[in-house]
Amino acid sequence: MTATETGADAELRGLAELARSFFTEQVAPRREEFAEQGFPDREVYRKAGELGLLCMSVPEEYGGGGGTFAHEAVLFTEQVKGGDSSMQLGVHTGIVPHYILSYASEDNKKRWLPKLASGEWVGAIAMTEPGTGSDLQNIATRAVKDGDDYLISGAKTFISNGRNCDLLIIAVKTDPTQGAKGVSLVVAEVADDTPGFERGRILKKVGQKGQDTTELFFENLRVPRANLLGAAEGLGFFQLMEQLPQERLICGVAAAAAIEAAVDETLAYTKERTAFGKPLFALQNTKFELADCATIATVVRTFVDDAVAKHLRGELDVKTAAMVKYWTTEQQTQVVDRCVQLHGGYGYMEEYPIARMWTDGRIARIYAGANEVMKDLIARFL
């Protein structure tokens, strides 16, 4: 520890080293294997749980690490810089546990959270439907009361962790006549043999090929009414709105890490690669491009760190979270594209990390709410 480093700083630095070694040594080397099968092995979640890397911001009484979002931000940063895009930890540890922590009954918190923290279970959230995209208030999946249960019927698509999930938060309509006020969130414990539940195909994507993104189908899936999140039906849309700022902040954290990784990778490449008898970095255009990209990286990092600090204080509002998600992911795709260009033909080869950053990162402008939706949301507060 340095003279100016606090205990918290030292803890986060130690966490970064642990997470970095986990991703670089145990997950990233299996990139091709996971891409071929379309999903990561469940054992990597269990290993992450053994190391204490899951649910770090969940209280210890529920099996979590008792930390804050600052710990999660370190994890997401090191995952990006460690070259892994197969484990959808943003969903598993950054999103799903906090819906449960905020809205589930005490019994369900004690049942579900420890299994997510250990990696025994993989978590997912099913919002998007084939015909709705970001229009969550018009989802068609229904939950109909049947005694002490709900019977859920409908279809979801683009579900991260859908292939591996054991615990699934489902956005449903409990009252189709009420628009947003008719949306509820219900948690289902699922397996391949669960009656009324079917995993569809693993979707083939442009990037993030090792991360399972799946269609899910429900036909009278029976779920206890006690698994409703919140004190009453009809709160789901508002719960989503409360939790989405953290999801969008996670996107910003990942974008900042991706920009920094792309700049570092390209600096190393251009200083080693020669053209016209000298390193590429000696060419004025290369220096100017990287100077610009490095400046963008610094501005993005400053913006994201400020947003994380606001979130830790409970001050991150909807508008700022939308700004973070929109602007940082726009910068990510632009900077990575410029870095691909500086690699020349090699930037288009999948064996080079910059090419994978390019294909993996394009989705950032789409998920967690398309950037066009973010701009519309921001404009509402102007």
Mind telling me the catalytic residues? 247
Minimal CA–CA distance to 329: which of 300, 309, 302? 300
d(CA 208, CA 38): 9
Query: Would you call 370 helix, strand, or coil by DSSP?
Result: coil
The pair of structure tokens assigned to 21 is 């070694």
Query: Would you call 369 helix, strand, or coil by DSSP?
Result: coil
d(CA 45, CA 124): 13
176 Cβ contact partners less than 8 Å away, ≥ 6 residues apart: 142, 182
- The crossing angle, in degrees rounded to 10, of helices 69-81 and 284-312 is 160
Residue 165: CA count within 13 A, CB half-sphere? 34
Exposure class string for 215-228: b at 16+ Cβ within 10 A, else e: bbbbeebbbeeebb
